[in-house]
Structures are given as C-alpha cells and as structure tokens.
Amino acid sequence: MHEMSLAEGVLRIIEAQAREQDFTRVKTVRLELGQLSHAAPEALAFCYDAVVRGTVAEGSRLEIVRTPGQAQCLACDRTVALARRYDPCPHCGGHRLQVIAGEEMRVKELEVQ
Ligand SMILES: [Zn+2]
C-alpha cells in the first residue's frame, strides 16, 4: 500500500530527528500533505499508527494539514489554484496544467517530550 511506505518515511524522519535532538518520546506530529497527493489521509493515519508501534513515536498523534494545489497553465501561462488533479484551468478552461505544488508530503513539526 502506498500509504504504508509514506508512513514508514515519516517514521524514518522522526527517528533521525530523535537521534539528532536526543528526545525519547513524540507527542504530536504535524504533517503537511498536498491536496493533490495520491495518499488518503485516513489510510495514512491508520498506517502511521501501525508502523510507530514500539518506536519513539508510539501513541503519538498524527495531525495532517492539507496544503493547496497549484499549477501552471500551459495555455494562458497563469499560476492557478488547483483543488483536484485534472481540473481545468479556472481562467481559460484549458486542460494542459503542470502541477507545481500540492503533491508533496512534509513533516512540519514534532512535539516531543
Ligand atoms: Zn489557463
């Protein structure tokens, strides 16, 4: 499952931070997830709970913040907000859009003990 590998990626980031900053318990993880990402937040949260078992992040809360999608329209050359992949350009109705933001996933903040 795609979300499982993403959750494992999040855990690797947390564990690297734990080594670097010397903390032993994570309370909350704030994760930015682009609106155009293929990952489903519910599935990601479920997988996260499973992969953090027995680690510094066991029992922590995963807060997922959706970040907006953005694309460059190749027809009218504007940067437009994109709520869903394959939506047309809101200005010219064109379908040739190049996604420039909203696909990424990023650990924004860790609340630790
Ligand atoms: Zn356009």
The predicted pLDDT at position 90 comes to: 95
> What DSSP state is assigned to residue 1?
-
Q: Compute the distance from residue 83 Cα to the ligand 1 centre, in Å.
A: 15
Q: Compute the distance from residue 6 Cα to the ligand 1 centre, in Å.
A: 32
- Residues whose Cβ atom is located within 5 A of ion ligand 1: 73, 75-76, 89, 91-92, 94
| Residue ranges, the chain, pLDDT below 70 | 1
Where in the chain are the domains?
Answer: 2-68+102-112
What are all long-range contacts of 19-23, with beta carbons under 8 Å and residues at least 24 apart? 21/112, 23/56, 23/112, 23/113
Mark residue 86 as left, alpha or beta (left: phi above 0; alpha: psi -120 to 50; beta: remaining).
left
- Which CATH entry fits the domain spanning 2-68+102-112: 3.30.2320.50, 3.40.50.460, 3.40.50.2300, 3.75.10.10? 3.30.2320.50
Candidates 18, 47, 8; CA nearest to 110 is: 18
